[in-house]
Structure 1
Amino acid sequence: MKNIIITGTSRGIGYELALQFANAGHKVLAISRKVPQAFIENQNISCLAVDISEEDNLQKVQDFIASTWHSVDVLIHNAGALINKPFTQITAHEFEYVYKVNVFGVAALNRVVLPFMKKGAHVVTISSIGGVKGTVKFAGLAAYSSSKGAVITLSELLAEEYKEQGIAFNVLALGAVNTEMLQEAFPGYEAPLSAVEMANYIYDFALTGNKYYNGKVLEVSSSTP
Structure 2
Amino acid sequence: MLKAFDLKGKTAIVTGASRGLGKASALALVQSNANVVITGRDERTLSKTADELSQYGSTVTSFVCDITNPDEVLKLKEFIITRFGTLDILVNNAGIVIDKPFLQTSDDEIDTIMNTNLLGMMKLTRILGEIMVTNKNGKIINIGSYDGLVGTPNLAAYGTSKGGVVQFTRMLAIEWARYKINVNVICPGYFHTSMNDEVFQNEEITNKILKRIPLRRIGKPDELGPLIVYLSSEGSDYMTGQVLAIDGGETSN
- Pair in the same fold by TM > 0.5: yes
| Structure 1 residues 14-93: aligned runs within 5 Å | 14-34=22-42, 35-40=46-51, 42=54, 44-93=59-108
Q: Contact 2:183–2:240 at 8 Å: present in 1 too?
A: yes
| 3-state SS in 2 of match to 1:154 | helix
Q: Which runs of 5+ in 1 are unaligned?
A: none
Larger strand proportion, structure 1 or 2?
1
Letter in 2 for 1:114: G
How far apart are residue 113 of structure 1 and its match?
Answer: 1.1
Q: Contact 1:32–1:50 at 8 Å: present in 2 too?
A: yes
Letter in 1 for 2:242: K
Q: Does 1:13 align with 2:27?
A: no
Q: Contact 1:127–1:148 at 8 Å: present in 2 too?
A: yes
Letter in 1 for 2:222: V
Q: Contact 1:39–1:45 at 8 Å: present in 2 too?
A: yes
CA RMSD of aligned residues (A): 2.0
Q: Does 1:4 align with 2:12?
A: yes
1: distance between equivalents of 2:200 and 2:95?
15
Q: Contact 1:6–1:30 at 8 Å: present in 2 too?
A: yes
How far apart are residue 205 of structure 1 and its match?
Answer: 2.7
Q: Which runs of 5+ in 2 are unaligned?
A: 1-7, 207-216
Q: What is residue 125 of structure 1 aligned with on the other side?
A: 142
Q: Does 1:218 align with 2:244?
A: yes
Runs of at least 4 residues off by over 4 Å:
184-187
| TM-score normalised over the length of structure 1 | 0.90
Q: What is residue 157 of structure 2 aligned with on the other side?
A: 143
Larger helix proportion, structure 1 or 2?
2
Q: What is residue 212 of structure 2 aligned with on the other side?
A: none
1: distance between equivalents of 2:153 and 2:191?
18
C-alpha spacing 1:160/1:92, structure 2 compared with 1 (3 Å)? same
| TM-score normalised over the length of structure 2 | 0.80
Identity %: 29
Greater CA radius of gyration, 1 or 2?
2
Q: What is residue 125 of structure 2 aligned with on the other side?
A: 110
C-alpha spacing 1:210/1:131, structure 2 compared with 1 (3 Å)? same
2: distance between equivalents of 1:65 and 1:206?
18
Q: What is residue 209 of structure 2 aligned with on the other side?
A: none
**How many residues get paired?**
222
How far apart are residue 40 of structure 1 and its match?
Answer: 3.7
2: distance between equivalents of 1:212 and 1:173?
20
**Structure 1 residue corresponding to 2:170, chosen from 156, 162, 180:** 156
How far apart are residue 184 of structure 1 and its match?
Answer: 5.7
Query: Structure 1 stretch 201-210 or stretch 55-64: which is displaced more?
Result: 201-210
Q: What is residue 184 of structure 2 aligned with on the other side?
A: 170
Letter in 2 for 1:92: D
**Structure 1 residue corresponding to 2:231, chosen from 199, 202, 205:** 205
| 3-state SS in 1 of match to 2:233 | helix
